[in-house]
């Protein structure tokens, strides 16, 4: 199956951005790790990061025609603000797994609500960069189930 890893605002700063909260891995580290893991299992992964809400929406729209089995999505702060990203996922009908490096439930109250959580298959939060691997593994297991 083909998957899309989508990362929202400020995630391009991973590695140097508040490492106590977000860890030391860079986004490139995470992307390369996931591409390799997907490839090992006969799957493929496209990666896209943007700081712009509109670009993320456009990327989701494009994904509709790419036969994407699942979007692995860390929307960053747009998680807590963006009805437009929610609508993009609903409008394209793409399946999505929500990812957060930090445990947002332990943080400020404004991070407790997600506009994506109730339309996602599931959410992985609090496991740092490892959460991306957990999300990919869940997506690959689900793809195997749905093609059987």
Task: Give the catalytic positions in this structure.
Answer: 22, 100
Q: Which is nearer to ligand DQA, 37 or 111 (CB)?
A: 111
Confirm or reject binding of residue 102 to ligand DQA (CB under 6 A).
yes
Among 6, 104, 120, 135, binds ligand DQA (CB under 6 A): 104
* Ranges within 22-61 binding ligand DQA (CB under 6 A): none
Among 76, 82, 129, 143, binds ligand DQA (CB under 6 A): 76
Long-range interactions of 82-86: CB distance < 8 A, separation 24+: 82/53, 82/115, 83/115, 84/53, 84/57, 85/53, 85/56, 85/57, 85/60, 85/115, 85/116, 86/115, 86/116, 86/119
Residues in the annotated binding site: 74, 80, 87, 101-102, 111
What CA dihedral angle connects 113, 50, 126 and 108, to 10 degrees?
A: -40
Distance from chain centroid for Cα 57: 13
Q: Which is nearer to ligand DQA, 14 or 143 (CB)?
A: 14
**Residue 128 CB, nearest distance to ligand DQA (Å)?**
9
C-alpha to C-alpha distance for 18 and 1, rounded to whole angstroms: 34
* Residues at the contact surface with ligand DQA, assessed by CB under 6 A: 10, 74, 76-77, 79, 100-102, 104, 111
């Amino acid at each position: 199956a083909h998957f899309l890893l989508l990362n929202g605002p400020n995630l391009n700063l991973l590695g140097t951005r508040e490492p106590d909260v977000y860890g030391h891995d860079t986004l490139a580290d995470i992307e390369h790790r996931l591409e390799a893991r997907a490839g090992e299992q006969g799957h493929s992964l496209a990666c896209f990061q943007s700081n712009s809400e509109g670009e993320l929406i456009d990327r989701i729209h494009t994904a509709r025609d790419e036969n994407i089995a699942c979007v692995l999505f860390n929307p960053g702060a747009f998680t807590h603000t963006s009805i437009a990203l929610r609508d993009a996922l609903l409008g394209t009908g793409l399946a999505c797994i929500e990812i957060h490096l930090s445990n947002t439930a332990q943080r400020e109250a404004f991070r407790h609500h997600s506009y994506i959580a109730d339309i996602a298959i599931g959410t992985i939060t609090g496991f740092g960069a490892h959460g991306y691997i957990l999300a990919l593994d869940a997506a690959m297991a689900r793809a195997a189930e749905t093609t059987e």
